[in-house]
Amino acid sequence: MLRWTCCLCTEGQVVHTLPELEGRPVAGITSLAGEIYLLREKERDQVEVYDVISYRLQRCLTVPDAEGFVDMTSCEHYHCVYISDPCIECIHRLGVQGAATRWPVNDEPWGLSVNAAHSLLVACHLVRKIKEFSSHGNLLRELTLPRDVTNPLHSIQLTTEFVVCHGFVADALNRVCMISADGRHIVHSHGGQPGSDTDQYDVPRHLAVDNNEFVFVADLNNRRVTLLSPTLQYVRQVVSSDKLKWDPERLYLDVQRRRLYVADNEWKGGKLTSGRVVVFSV
């Protein structure tokens, strides 16, 4: 397995920007089998597939009967992508050629990730739960998070523990937490009351983790991406606000190519109006 140490990284440098579309915010970004998958809010052709080297558009895929999106992740083992649809409380599963199925979550799904067992982890922020599903939608387990982990937006399973980002603007705590394997205890945390200092967040929206368990955090309203150590100690700012046009909503880390993909979306009049993806070398 390729390993590299993020704590040696300097601030990321922009190497490419995927197309900006007015009225089409980016709802997810991931890669699969040497291609980049970009998810946008529109009626059809919602998934744009790009070559990972040339960044040229290869094809588009349609998610049938979708109502709205908040995240997307991929699974190399099952060769598919998963998309969370909170409007109808379901997960869409899409094959690389576009074959689509879906299954109910029975709670509002938010951030998605795939663990080492090739299962899908779904953060259900309204009920403070992480639900684990098989690739075809069988519920394997669900974890209820500690009471002060309000509005968990995204979770990633490490070797045993889970790293979780949580908190909206009105919440007392905006943090990144490492949660025990049973979901009951906070092992480490970074953050606290919402703010803009280096040890604070203003809606920690999305996560990415490298092979050494360094954690990248999309800090939405502070318009930056922060790097934390495996014990959630502050390391440095990886992406600053001057490298973004709008707000960083989602992350995808390509460890092999040392590329960090940041979904950069515009909020206007209380809604998402446009979006693009900025690619950084890290």
Predicted confidence band of residue 5 (pLDDT cuts 50, 70, 90): very low
How many domains does one find in the chain? Answer: 1
Please indicate, yes or no, if residue 10 is contained in any of the structural domains: no
Distance, CA of 85 to CA of 32 (rounded, Å)? 20
* pLDDT tens, position by position, 103-124: 999 999 999 999 999 999 999 9
Residue 18 in contact with residue 277, Cβ under 8 Å? yes
Please indicate, yes or no, if residue 222 is contained in any of the structural domains: yes
Bridge partners of 176, per DSSP, are 165, 190
Mean pLDDT along residues 243-254:
96
What is the domain extent for residue 235?
A: 145-282
Please indicate, yes or no, if residue 188 is contained in any of the structural domains: yes
Please indicate, yes or no, if residue 200 is contained in any of the structural domains: yes
Distance, CA of 132 to CA of 122 (rounded, Å)? 6
Query: How much is the pTM?
Result: 0.94
Please indicate, yes or no, if residue 70 is contained in any of the structural domains: no
Please indicate, yes or no, if residue 54 is contained in any of the structural domains: no
Please indicate, yes or no, if residue 65 is contained in any of the structural domains: no
**Predicted pLDDT at 10:** 67
CATH number of the structural domain spanning residue 220: 2.120.10.30
* pLDDT tens, position by position, 30-73: 999 999 999 998 888 999 999 999 999 999 999 999 999 999 99
Please indicate, yes or no, if residue 84 is contained in any of the structural domains: no
